[in-house]
Amino acid sequence: MKEKVVLAYSGGLDTTVIIPWLKENYDYEVICVCGNCGQAEELDGLEERALSSGASKLYIEDLTDEFCDDFIVPCVQAHAVYENKYLLGTSMARPVIAKRLVEVARKEGATAICHGATGKGNDQIRFELGIKALAPDLKIIAAWRDPKWNLNSREEEIEYCRQHGIHLPFSADSSYSRDRNLWHISHEGLELENPANEPNYEHLLVLSTTPEKAPDTPEYVTMTFEKGVPVSLNGKKMKVSEIIAELNVLGGKHGIGIIDIVENRVVGMKSRGVYETPGGTILYEAHQQLEELILDRDTYALKTDLGNKFAQVVYEGKWFTPLREALQAFIESTQRYVTGEVKFKFYKGNIIKAGTTSPYSLYNESIASFTTGDMYDHHDAEGFINLFGLSTKVRALKLQEAGELKK
């Protein structure tokens, strides 16, 4: 009996080439696993491609709802944004895929897991940290870092397939390097490799239109949350995955959620990419719009800091760690009263507030109104300012005494 290896399989050229390469160099039985996180038509023809390339079996695992409920929702609740722009589309998907790779490896009695992530990127870290955390006994094969790997270009990979009798729908033409799931699609390569170049949006965009080509008429949308979880869109109850899918359509139509960023990868280099996250951008904004009404100032401030830390932890592939669990426990405790309805309108790439309501709102018109209310006496501010500014005044007096501050 040959040893079995589970291959993280996307159906792209790299992971297709890895199937015969594993058999030739390691004499493994190759079992492919594709985690369906909502990558749509990219799943078409996968089974035929994997089997014709030499795999003994292909699992196409529907992870969409698990991805949304257990990985996306905590990031939305944390308002986890990496380097102020990136909404973690690839980062959130890798741990749920790694988890399923381990589950299939256990089921099949495999001794190793292989992935096709390059030695320059973040995904190698995310996959391998996830596998190490869940199955430290399993061997990990990173093809692109393996000493037996000598295919260094797309052309060489296609020729390798030809030599092994594998006829696949891939050409040597250059194209963007893309990653897609329900949450987003990323684009790297071609003109984007030079930060001096403007993205060719006409050629690049998949989910969206540009704001310039968006409708000239704004569109109103309402969304409700219960304990920080989105539960309905425009009055219709939906699963989180259904809400995201619908928001992708709406956001894409209005040119929302297109970002161009030079980010700092975990391995130390800078990388330029364009991300389309129409539904995710709306969901983040809607959730924050509601939290503004509900969370007290101190909790909101600390949650902002920890949200940034949560983003870093997820970006670096540390999902299956005590730190992520502890951060998420705090974040979940803040969501107890994040219930209510948000209304906004989309217009030319913008999400514009159009009203927010919650039974737990801390906004009190009697206090906040410019007219005098019965819960706030303007004269109380004088004593507060005297105490709040006491250290500032004492320091200024000492500077005056020292002659460093003129009267």
pLDDT tens-place string over residues 30-74: 999 999 999 877 788 899 999 999 999 999 999 999 999 999 999
pLDDT of residue 289: 97
Say if 376 falls within a structural domain: yes
Higher-confidence position of 386 and 174: 386
Nearest-angstrom CA–CA distance, 80 and 313: 10
14 flagged as catalytic: yes
CATH of the domain at 135: 3.40.50.620
Same domain, 230 and 89: no
Q: Sign (positive/negative) of CA torsion 204, 205, 211, 214? A: positive
Classify 403 in phi/psi space as left (phi over 0), alpha (psi -120 to 50) or beta.
Answer: left
Q: Does 286 lie in the same domain as 220?
A: yes
| Catalytic residue status for 177 | yes
Whether 317 is in a domain gets the answer no
Average pLDDT over residues 162-187: 85
Q: Which of 101, 98, 96 is nearest to 67 (CA)?
A: 96
Whole-number Å distance between alpha carbons of 343 and 354: 5
Same domain assignment for residues 159 and 113: yes
pTM given for the model:
0.94
**pLDDT of res. 394:** 96
Domain stops at, among 138, 173, 208: 173
Q: Is the pLDDT of residue 170 over 70?
A: no
Task: Return all residues near 125 (Cβ < 8 A) that are at least 6 apart.
Answer: 266, 267, 316, 317
- Taking CB atoms within 8 Å and a gap of at least 24, the contacts of 383-387 are none
Helix, strand, coil percentages, rounded to 5, for the chain: 45, 20, 35
pLDDT at 384 over 80: yes
Give residue 43's pLDDT.
Answer: 85
Query: Among 56, 177, 271, 361, which one carries the catalytic annotation?
Result: 177
Q: What is the mean pLDDT of residues 312-327?
A: 98
pLDDT confidence bin for 174, thresholds 50/70/90: low
- In this prediction, residue 370 carries a pLDDT of 66
Q: Do the beta carbons of residue 187 and residue 273 sit within 8 Å?
A: yes
Cα–Cα distance, 233 to 230 (Å, whole number): 8
Predicted pLDDT of residue 369? 67
| Domain endpoint, select from 173, 206, 224 | 173
Range of the domain at 339: 178-295+334-357
Domain boundary among the residues 125, 152, 173 is at: 173
Has 216 been annotated as catalytic? Answer: no
Q: List the structure tokens of 294.
A: 């509900």
Catalytic residue among 94, 100, 180, 272: 94
Least confident residue range of 103-117, 159-173, 339-353: 159-173
Q: Say if 320 falls within a structural domain.
A: no
In a domain, 163, yes or no: yes
Residue pLDDT, tens place only, 242-288: 999 999 999 999 999 999 999 999 999 999 999 999 999 999 999 99
Domain count, the chain: 3
Q: Does the pLDDT value for residue 7 go beyond 70?
A: yes
Reported as a single tens digit per residue, the pLDDT across 306-317 is 999 999 999 999
Residue 129 lies in a domain: yes
The yes-or-no answer on residue 395 being catalytic is no
Say yes or no to pLDDT of 387 above 90. yes
Q: How confident is the model at residue 127 (pLDDT cuts 50, 70, 90)?
A: very high
Q: Among residues 123, 179, 241, 358, which one is catalytic?
A: 123
Question: Which pLDDT band holds residue 406 (cuts at 50, 70, 90)?
Answer: confident
DSSP 6-44: EEE--SSHHHHHHHHHHHHHH-PEEEEEEEESS-GGGGT
Mean pLDDT of 374-383: 84
Look up tokens 């969409």; give the residue: 64
In this structure, the answer to whether residues 259 and 130 fall within a common structural domain is no
At residue 173, the pLDDT reads 66
